[in-house]
Amino acid sequence: MNDPYNVLFLCTGNSARSILAEAILNRVGAGKFRAYSAGSQPKGEVHPYALQLLKTLNHDTSLARSKDWQEFAAPGAPEMNFVFTVCDNAANEACPVWPGQPMTAHWGVPDPAAVDGTDAEKHLAFAEAYRMLNNRISIFVSLPMNTIDKLALQKRLDEIGRDLPKAG
């Protein structure tokens, strides 16, 4: 396959987790994957802590914006190969019908924007969400897409979304 695989990360607000995932995959999957993100009820802006973290880690944030998932179900939208939910709310919502019947999986990550506490605790929550997403996405991009059958691929996608084993 010469064209990159299109991947859509979904969350309710599309302001933190899905934005982080989009940025991570566009970096680590460059050339092989093209990531997008959207929300069922987009906040309309990217969470400032998400933007700050991405900038600190030298991610391109110029295209980061909070968008409605209907944008990707509309005529002329890129056809998705994969759609991943990264929050529990979006996993339980009725999703639009995606053209091309992409493979789907739930990769739930705790919402860093919901953390109450000091600025340091909030920044730590965003860093932890980034770490979890980065680990999952790194495993995903290493899968042998051209040689793995669809059933085995779906099994691996589901496994990636479950709690990862602790290092050590």
What are the structure tokens assigned to 4, written together?
């990159």
User: Hey, how many other C-beta atoms are within 10 angstroms of the C-beta on 15?
Assistant: 25
What are the structure tokens assigned to 36, written together?
């997008």
Beta strands in 44-166 (DSSP E): 82-85, 103-106
Which helix (H) or strand (E) segment is 129 a member of? helix 119-141
Contact 36, 9 (CB under 8 A): yes
CA 159 from centroid of its chain's CA atoms: 16
Catalytic pick from 11, 19, 38, 113?
11
Catalytic pick from 8, 21, 83, 87?
87
User: Active-site residue 59, yes or no?
Assistant: no
Round to whole Å and give the CA distance between 67 and 128: 23
User: Active-site residue 36, yes or no?
Assistant: no
Looking only at Cα atoms, what is the longest distance across the chain? 47
Catalytic pick from 95, 103, 139, 153?
95
Round to whole Å and give the CA distance between 156 and 92: 21
User: Active-site residue 129, yes or no?
Assistant: no
Active site residues: 11, 87, 95
